[in-house]
Chain A
Amino acid sequence: MQSKGICMTCRSAICRGALLAAFLLSFADNALAHKASDSYLTLRVVGPEVTGQWDIALRDMDLAVGLDADEDGAITWGEVRNRHAEVAAYAFAHLALAADGNPCPAAVTDHLIDHHSDGAYAVLRFTAHCPRVPASLDVTYRLLFDLDPQHRGLLQLDYAGRVRTAIFSAESPAQSLILAEPNWLRQFAEYLNYGAWHIWTGFDHILFLLSLLLPAVLVRTGVAWQPATGFRATLLDVLKVVTAFTIAHSITVTLVALNVISLPSRLVESAIAVSVVLAALNNIYPLVSERRWILAFAFGLIHGFGFASVLVDLGLPRAALLSALVAFNLGVELGQLSIVALFLPFAWRLRRSWVYRRVTVYGGSAAVATLALAWLIERALDLRLMS
Chain B
Amino acid sequence: MRRHLLLICWCLALAEPTAAAPFVPVDDAQVLERLPFRPTDPTVRELRLLHAQLILQPDNQMLAVAVARRYVELGRVTGDPRYAGYAQAALGPWWHLAEPPRDVLLLRATLHQRVHQFDFALKDLALALARNPRDAQARLTRATVLQVRGEYEAARQDCEALKGLTQPLIALTCLTGVNASSGKLRDSYRTLREALAHHPEAEPSIQAWMLAGLAEMAARAGFAHNAEQHFKAALAVDPADQYLVAAYADFLLHSGRAREAQELVKMHTRADGLLLRYALALKAQGSTSTPEVVEELRARFDASRLRGDRVHLREEARYELHLDADPRTALELAKNNWAVQKEPADARILLESALAANDFVAVRSLQAWLAESHLEDVQLTHLLETMHPGG
Write the residues of chain A forming the contact surface with B, with a CB cutoff of 8 angstroms. Answer: 2-3, 6, 9, 12, 14-15, 18-38, 53, 55, 58-59, 62, 68, 71-78, 80-81, 111-114, 116-120, 123, 125, 146-152, 154, 163, 165, 167, 251, 254-255, 258-260, 264, 318, 321, 382
Contacts and interface: CB of A to CB of B under 8 A. Distances in A.
A153 to B, nearest CB: 9
A14 B46 contact: yes
Given A77-B32, A148-B85, A29 B114 contact: yes
B85 A26 contact: no
Given A6-B166, A34-B272, A321 B86 contact: no
B205 interface: yes
B243 A27 contact: yes
A20 B81 CA distance: 21
A15 B66 contact: yes
B35 A59 contact: yes
B27 interface: yes
B89 interface: yes
B292 to A, nearest CB: 12
Residue of B46, B75, B81 with most partner-chain A CB within 10 A = B81
B113 interface: yes
- Can you list the 9 inter-chain pairs with the closest CB atoms, starting with the nearest? A78-B28, A148-B85, A32-B273, A73-B38, A150-B85, A26-B144, A117-B299, A112-B22, A32-B79
A62 B69 contact: no
Nearest to A251: B4
Nearest to B81: A36
Contacts of A81: 28
A116 B165 CA distance: 48
Contacts of A19: 69, 137
B311 A33 contact: yes
30 contacts: A3-B166, A12-B66, A15-B65, A21-B205, A22-B137, A26-B141, A26-B144, A27-B144, A27-B209, A30-B114, A32-B79, A34-B80, A36-B82, A53-B22, A73-B40, A74-B31, A75-B32, A75-B35, A76-B29, A112-B22, A113-B24, A113-B32, A116-B303, A118-B300, A150-B82, A163-B17, A255-B7, A258-B11, A258-B12, A258-B15
Interface of B: 4, 7-8, 11-12, 15, 17, 20-25, 27-35, 37-41, 46, 50, 62, 65-66, 69-70, 72-73, 75-76, 78-82, 84-86, 88-89, 92, 95, 103, 106, 110, 113-116, 136-137, 140-141, 143-145, 148, 164-167, 170, 203, 205-206, 208-209, 212, 242-243, 246, 270-274, 296, 299-300, 302-304, 306-309, 311-312, 314-315, 328, 341, 343, 345, 360-361
Nearest to B162: A2
Given A24-B209, A32-B273, A73-B38, A150 B81 contact: yes
A254 B66 contact: no
Given A149-B88, A260-B7, A25 B24 contact: no
Contacts of A37: 81-82, 85
B307 A154 contact: yes
Contacts of B75: 29
Contact of A27 (B11, B76, B116, B164): B76
A37 B40 CA distance: 23
A215 to B, nearest CB: 30
A89 B348 CA distance: 50
Nearest to B343: A28
A170 B38 CA distance: 28
Contacts of A74: 31, 33-35
B274 A77 contact: no
Contacts of B76: 21, 24-25, 27, 29
A33 B28 contact: no
Nearest to B7: A260
B66 A33 contact: no
A36 B82 CA distance: 6
A22 B77 CA distance: 12
A112 B206 CA distance: 47
Contact of A76 (B24, B30, B137, B243): B30
Contacts of B72: 22, 25
A20 B205 contact: yes
B86 A72 contact: no
Nearest to A254: B8
Contact of B309 (A36, A62, A165): A36
Contacts of B341: 28
Contacts of A163: 17
Given A6-B166, A24-B76, A114 B343 contact: no
Given A119-B33, A148-B82, A32 B271 contact: yes
Contacts of B110: 22, 25-26
A35 B24 CA distance: 24
A114 B23 contact: yes
B84 A150 contact: yes
A37 B360 CA distance: 39
B361 A23 contact: no
A9 to B, nearest CB: 8
B243 A32 contact: yes
B306 A38 contact: yes
B170 to A, nearest CB: 6
Contacts of B8: 254-255, 258, 260
B312 A33 contact: yes
Given A28-B148, A146-B89, A112 B23 contact: yes
B307 A147 contact: no
Contacts of B37: 73
A327 B38 CA distance: 59
A311 to B, nearest CB: 15
B271 A34 contact: yes
A80 B32 CA distance: 9
